[in-house]
Structure 1
Amino acid sequence: MDPHYSEESINSFFINQIKDYAIFATDTKGIITAWNIGAERLKGYTEKEIVGQFYGILHPYEYQQAGVPEQELDIALEKGSYDVEAWRKRKDDSLFWATVTLTPIFSADGQHVGYTKITGDISKQKELQDKLAERQQGALEHKNKELQKINHDLDNFVYTASHDLRSPIANIEALTKLLKEELTESDCLSTETDEILQRVLTSISRFKSTIEDLTVVSRLQNDVSEGLTDEIINIKEVYEDIIADLGYPTELNVCFIQTDFKVYQLRFSKKNLRSILYNLISNAIKFQSPERDCIIKIHTQLEEPYVVLSVEDNGVGIDELHHEHLFTMFKRFHEHVEGTGIGLFMVKRIVENAGGKIEVESKKGIGTEFKIYFKEDM
């Protein structure tokens, strides 16, 4: 080391010659005690003007009023340093986006004697980041509009296709039945031919069900787009209406349904609640176990911020391997009953579109419980 210069003076020269960063020191209260040339260039204050002032003067007025400078000092002392990207203020009150590092200084004996602060101007980087984010947002919005248009076109296609297929499939069904009648009357219907025609009619019936389901999905999408009017509905009345439609007690004479409606009223679309409850009850009936009496438990309760509707059965249950695909359109896990596998897809779609959620617990051979969470403020 040059004997003409002390270590302290060399450090001072070093700090002052850093012109691209503002470097200054404060005492333990945040009063500025040292100021480099970089700080003068970046902040606009000369050393003579700024030394002796509280460093909070370099923050935007909103930050000062919110006590941000004092909070920074406390955090830096507590955690050993304080790093942030935020707005800072120049002498002329103009703002710039800065990277800031505030570090407490300790003496040789461990006493807290002040702070050092390094500030860099990264306004250009922020401007580039903002432009990039703006472009990405614009691209995302454009993509969303394209997807909405595609979805709209798909909905129109599904509706048109399902509508246009109704007539020819009805004709095929009528002609097949007519053919069976003609063969029967002419005594030409063999057992093998009868079985083939019956399989054709069964396939036609499934095709018609699929077309109907596609129409329902399209209608459901339109309901989401247009919005259904929520109303205060009586859950028990909706349940009783469903039971009447299912033909209780003739069709349910092997099922025992227990209800406990701790919450009677719900603000929701009556049409959609009926669809949800109808699907869950009819599934519980369809997938009952042949090894025991069918018991279905339906109850509602309040679990803020939700009203919870539970439908539990002791049926055949669903293997845990299939749980993740349970709400997939046209996915079926039991072949011993008729169905297209669209009901649970619709239930989940309705619930989530209304801001709620659905949960399921099911074990093969034991049973299944569905829980529907409706937002209280729906």
Structure 2
Amino acid sequence: MRNAAFSALDMSNIKVPNVLQIAEGPVTAERYRLLVESVTDYAIYMLDPQGTVISWNPGARRFKGYEDHEIIGQPFSRFYTEEDRAAGLPERALGQAAETGRFESEGWRVRKDGTRFWANAVIDAIINPATGRVLGYAKVTRDLTERRQADEALRRSEEKFRLLVQGVTDYAIYMLDADGIVTNWNAGAQRIKGYAPDEIIGRHFSLFYTPEDREKGEPQRTLQAAIDNGSAEKEGWRIRKNGETFWASVVIDPIRDDAGEVIGFAKVTRDLTEQRKVQAELDAAREALFQAQKIEALGQLTGGVAHDFNNLLTAVLGSLELVRRQIGDERQLNLIDNAIKGASRGISLTQRMLSFARKQELALQPVAVDVLVAEMGDLLQRSLGPLIRIETDFPADLATAAADSNQLEAAVLNLAVNARDAMPEGGVLRVGAKNESVGRGHRSGLPDGDYIRLSVADTGSGMDAKTLAQATEPFFTTKGVGKGTGLGLSMVHGMAEQLGGRLQLTSHVGRGTTVEIWLPVASAIITAEPVQLPVETKMETAMEPRPLTVLAVDDDALVLMNTTALLEDLGHKVIEASSGREALSVLENNEIDLLITDHAMPQMTGAQLITEVGQRWPNVPVILATGYADLPAGAGAGVLRLNKPFWQADLEKAVNAAMARRTTAAAAA
């Protein structure tokens, strides 16, 4: 039947479709038949002018499912879907082929079993050259279902990727052409950089760089680095549409074609401004913690050194004082006086060290800072000299501070002298204060509450970052050998911390230094916490001095010997004990009129000894002689304090005051 169909068409007079041309030799019906019969990947068959199938090759049988006898003589329209038949697509296809010589389309076709497949169909009209009459049609169909599925999968994948990229708002994801022109724009880019797609697509990406970076050629260098290295990753300042800068992390990857030529770039930008700010705050907090830990360690070391030094000075001063009374030679007296002056300077030094270590004795009271500074006016001006002008700025409603007025006065004077040294050619010293309310997260790092911020600012040489970081460390000074102890700022720092406040420094080279002392408001502190008892220097003198039996307790043999010598010189009998346990044993076996004890002792501290003595011998008056201010809470409450180092006169006053208290208590009972 197939051969008959070929013969009936008289192939010698028919124009064969281009798709079936054979390169060599005349195309005979037999050779054409053999060619068509060997093709299995294409359905190649012929139609008569009315669209009836008149031939059928193995390829047609393979993917359309019909055997020759089942389809030859049937209209080719049965391969079309019902929708396409209803729309007249088969007729239009033949009509276009007859009119133009060719028709090509893709669409769904139907197999014998009713399943659909995606087909590419080409219909060529077979025309009689002599008459121009259409003799039939050659039809070639290819099953593209797998390719279409792959294309559809790729399309869906690309669509998902597009939706993914467009859905990302935390990253700016976009592409550039080979010259750096923006070619697409996602929602994250619009959010981060502020441009809508129609505002930025077609413009050069260097628009996002700062003017300084553009002048340095940074955009071009970044693209070249991406080409050279396969990727470029950088961080830096970028500019939003509104002109605002932000800190960005940028990754640029080159896009290459199959030949390896760069055809564009993929660019991902992330806004790290907030993270950078948080990291900076974290770094600052870590640095502050490190500084606090360092200062705390230095404070412990300095406090320990000062305590030991105090003990040494106690022995030195007491011995010098006693020896001086036994010498009449003027030259020897001058030498002893010189030694006493040196020891007195040592006392000042230990007080500053204890101040830094926050172990000094403070007389806490309400202090009007503006009045204190005003009363210091003449002293400050004399200390600063005529080349420096003093300016003050205090509000009328300035609250009173909880402070030790003597210590605060010494701190202000210390800061003023530092400012003077930083302004050798003259300048301005500005002293002022403000009320401050501190809440959570405040830059000062102080607990919530009300404070007074006392500031002392100069217009001097200032400090660099390294010097500023060391400024409050004990013994650090930039004044040269013999021109400063390096304890001035340390003392102010320790005093502020001990009061519950803070010391803050700000300085820039060539622009001066500002020192801020944050002090708690008096009403917030003094009314809430009991004030430590100060050293009592006044006494009731309405008593006859009499020899006493005094128990002196100290673990330092030098101090103990010195205290004993001073008391014996005053006419008292002294029993020595080098520990708290030994002191208790003495009390059990002797009649003691007065107990004088150190605090910092091993095994049993002075405070613990006082507590036990108060329970077992409540009528024995006690003097606590110590260089420390940070006694345990409640330790020595109501007990007289004698600061080390002390002169014999201080010791005598303390003894008389203690005995006067006992007399008063006995009378009241």
Same fold (TM over 0.5): no
Higher-Rg member (1/2): 2
Structure with the higher fraction of residues in helix conformation: 1
Identify the structure with bigger relative contact order (alpha carbons < 8 Å, sequence gap 6+): 1
TM-score norm. by structure 2 comes to 0.26
Q: Provide TM-score, normalisation by structure 1.
A: 0.44
